[in-house]
Structure 1
């Protein structure tokens, strides 16, 4: 998608990298230079909250947390939706020198408790949606409420008790005031891993994201992805605040496809980021709901956290009139590691997740040797965004973090220009009689079949081949494309051993809280 040269030069001259060293000073530049500029748009009435007001609320929360006996380097949990309470709690904790650990509010009480105990959190902050559940937690739980008037004035309600002094328990003993966050990632194991990220990790990530997309004060977005995962936290919320932009938090703090375009128009959004599943939803509803010429003009749309098939990418670009940029990252790399560039900064390459952004990327063979361009291997990442390891899990840290490199567990290849293409997760590979099959590749082909909305591919145990290929497919119309037509399409586009031996038409697929395909649930539901 071509961009006029004059516009390209003008944008480059306007872009200024954020001056942040972590979460604690995230707002400082904007408070000095643009105190009354909008930072957030909140509540169903879409009230504007300025940078000055947001910083004032965060400072008040920081003072109250310190007065409760929490010391620098202590860990606190956050159980909030995408609300003003989350943002104020996160920044307040950072300004008090605490380490914030966002948790999924939808987790059952037993899992919330287990994670807080494993971390050694000394308290947990809740917004109204979480405190209203009446959950019983093993640490002091304090309700936080942010009241914002239509005029943009705001007040915070938080009455913490007193935390007993004492030695940190759980993994918190491994934390210090250099740490900013602990994020939980279940990955492909049953036990959630705890990833500590320092303020330096956070700052490096935000510098890379803002530079990649040239984000600045003229930009605005709608929070689609949850803030308890890196995608929503780094790519939408923190990068916007670091660059002086604005984030609209949807009513009740959750994405709604029905209000999405109204929200985008209300904030004059210039971009948004989401997982492929949400992009598919917006595309499916676009004929009824996309406002066309009334939609805000978008600089770009971003996709991350799961593979996006090429057919969907091109359809989105045609519908929304903006380039769709695929990005790649992990919790352990403070979210983004690679991204396709803005069109005026480089070529968009089909099937690629772009070039490294602020990190080094290698593709290595089983012996740890770098693969030549175009040769598939495991993707390794190194740089200032990479975490030091996992908390309270030395064995897994030793396997995953090697000589400063993060072993991602993803298969991919680099081309001669440094663009990365992914082919799947090593642990997901299906071994059919010695032939290694990437489920992600087969899913991409299935998604390109006319009439197919989405697909999940899984291993089916087999006494002869060890494993066979199974697929669960959702079609767009109940009386549309049939099983035999889909299989015929697969035979035309896949190697014979990759064609699904079992194919079921289903009404929907299970997804994780962060919007990725829940492969464990797929395997349990369809493989037996």
Structure 2
């Protein structure tokens, strides 16, 4: 089954059920299917065919979902683009992918217009907005064939790519992870099986839909189930809670920084009884944040994990089984994970090594980059670059990114371990640890901290706090206080940026 066929199936089964909610707009499954068909018909008329690449640069909205399904129904490959990127970054992605089409909003044209002539393959731009720019096609013109039937495209679910998602580039130039229809569907099927989701769920999506986590958990999964999804443009803690109450949301997927904010605010008086489950991903969930949130809201957070290259969920704590704070849980059903050393040999329980993953959710490879593909996929196993360990129950723990490890005089310091200690300090809101160069010991750990509102702390205070709880070589030798940490759209701290700033 392809992604497009998945929508067709849900629309046939639940035509009048609400599929999408955004602000005051509500679309049924029948309407979503018909409008995506119209987009596909118009794209085909523009010459878009199976295997072509189509960029999608739109903020969270119903139109994003319609465009996504419209593109994949033609057999073309959708390129969701981070809306926070600058012109040169977008130009790189569109050129690297050889995109022939871009669907965007008029708000992004000041970024797109200067680079349009520098993207040789780009033939058409579709603009969502009141007045399309000259030489562009209006969004409403793409909906002329609303209610017309679509001739299906012959697809090989296991081989044909549905989406190319470019990695955030936290360690260099972004690479395009090729995710087939089967990659995405198998990941969704395994995730909803572990989470125990049904078609009566109401998801809330405030995560950016251009990101793999949001696309899989908050868009493809609800459509697969025939469930409803409430889409919001940005995270305002009180407004999201109001929407949860108003729409009787049952499941929320977020990143750790969102739960940290909720844990720190006064809980408004509202009825949140429909809210049964939270999922956390995109970055490590500090144990203290999890405990504080669950204590206040009485709603479980199931922490999971997985890279874009794995569609992206590989593991998750089961809501109806044992949840282990600090763990990313066991592998999803039909997904294999193990811990290996630098030579690829599996390590025993409790030993730290690299996490590798195997399953139908593992990408086909990196677009136009066979060398990087060979380096990351060996004998069907994807090497994540995450250092972790496995316990006796088969639960996995991320110790840190391989590239983020700080080596102090030959001793390995895993930043996450230090960060967990920092998060227990009563004045700390957010913390991250990086390594800076040192002539004598190679590297030294440095803590970069955001304090809670109206709190003051000194470098000495933080260092002394760590000395009581960590081996001396793990203690930050320097503390920097900042007002905010630079992050990707999903809350992952941009450590490379901090290293450049503080080295």
Q: Same fold (TM over 0.5)?
A: yes
* Cα distance in 1 for residues equivalent to 2:223 and 2:241: 22
Structure 2 distance, partners of 1:374, 1:198, is: 34
- Match of residue 15 from structure 1: none
1:506 aligns with 2:482: yes
Provide the C-alpha distance between the structure 2 equivalents of 1:398 and 1:244, rounded to a whole number of angstroms.
38
Per the TM alignment, residue 369 of structure 1 is displaced from its structure 2 partner at its CA by 1.0
Hey, what does 1:351 align to over in structure 2?
326
Map of 1:96 onto structure 2: 74
8 Å Cα contact 2:427-2:456 kept in structure 1: yes
The aligned residue for residue 89 of structure 2 is 111
1:240 paired with 2:222, answer: yes
Counterpart selection for 2:102 from 124, 147, 155: 124
CA, structure 1 residues 25+131, in 2 after alignment: closer, same or farther (shift >3 Å)? farther
CA distance in structure 1 between the aligned counterparts of 2:158 and 2:393, rounded to whole angstroms = 40
What is the CA distance between 1:405 and its match in structure 2?
Answer: 0.3
1:429/1:436 contact within 8 Å kept? yes
Cα offsets for 1:411-467 (capped at 9, x unmatched) = 111112210011001111111100110112111110111111111111121111111
- Tell me whether 1:461 sits opposite 2:471 in the alignment: no
Match in the other structure for 1:313: 290
Partner of 1:48: 26
Match of 1:200 in 2: 182
2:234 to 210, 233, 254: 254
Quote the residue 2:146 is aligned against: none
- Structure 2 equivalent of residue 380 of structure 1: 356
TM-score (norm: length of structure 2): 0.91
Q: In 2, Cα distance between the equivalents of 1:108 and 1:188?
A: 15
Does structure 1 residue 397 correspond to structure 2 residue 373? yes
* 2:209 aligned residue: 227
Contact 2:38 2:142 (C-alpha < 8 Å) held by counterparts? no
Q: Which residue of 1 aligns with 2:48?
A: 70
Residues 341 and 354 in structure 2, CA contact (< 8 A), matched pair in contact too: yes
Q: Tell me if the contact between 1:38 and 1:50 (Cα under 8 Å) persists in the aligned partners.
A: yes
Aligned pairs for 1:126-525 (under 5 A) are 126-131=104-109, 135-136=113-114, 137=116, 138=119, 139-145=122-128, 157-159=140-142, 178-250=160-232, 253-284=233-264, 286-287=265-266, 290-342=267-319, 344=320, 346-357=321-332, 358-525=334-501
1:128 Cα deviation after fit: 4.0
Aligned to 1:38: 18
Q: Specify the SS of the correspondent of 1:335.
A: coil
Name the SS of the counterpart of 1:356 in structure 2: coil
CA distance in 1 between partners of 2:102 and 2:112 (Å): 14
Q: Judge conservation of contact 1:264–1:296 (CA < 8 Å) in 2.
A: no
Q: Is the 8 A contact 1:72 1:177 kept in 2?
A: no
**Would the aligned equivalents of 2:158 and 2:182 in 1 still touch at CA under 8 Å?**
no
Using a 3 Å threshold, how does the CA distance of structure 1 residues 497 and 333 change in structure 2: closer, same or farther? same
Does the 8 A contact of 2:205 with 2:231 survive in 1?
yes
CA distance in 2: counterparts of 1:336 and 1:224, whole angstroms: 18
For the 8 Å contact 1:74–1:176, the answer to whether it is kept is no
Relative distance call for 1:291 and 1:33 in structure 2 (3 A) is: farther
Q: With the length of structure 1 as denominator, give the TM-score of the two structures.
A: 0.86
Once the two structures are TM-superposed, the CA of residue 511 in structure 1 deviates from its matched residue by 0.9
Once the two structures are overlaid, the 10-residue window that deviates more, 331-340 or 235-244, is 235-244
Superposed CA RMSD? 2.1
Deviates further, 291-300 or 272-281: 291-300
2:186 counterpart SS class:
helix
Number of residue pairs matched? 477
TM-superposed deviation, 1:265:
1.9
What are the ranges of 5 or more consecutive residues in structure 2 without an aligned counterpart?
131-137, 144-156
Quote the Cα distance in structure 1 between the aligned partners of 2:164 and 2:70: 15
User: In structure 2, what is the Cα distance between the partners aligned to 1:492 and 1:158?
Assistant: 65
What are the Cα deviations for residues 92-146 of structure 1, in whole angstroms up to 9, with x where unaligned? 0111111111101221112212211110111111134334756342313433549
Q: Is the 8 A contact 1:131 1:143 kept in 2?
A: no
What is the CA–CA distance in structure 1 between the aligned matches of 2:412 and 2:6, rounded to whole Å? 46
Q: CA deviation at 1:189?
A: 2.9
Does the 8 Å CA contact 2:459/2:478 hold for their aligned counterparts?
Answer: no
Q: Whole-Å Cα distance in 2 between the matches of residues 190 and 492 of structure 1?
A: 36
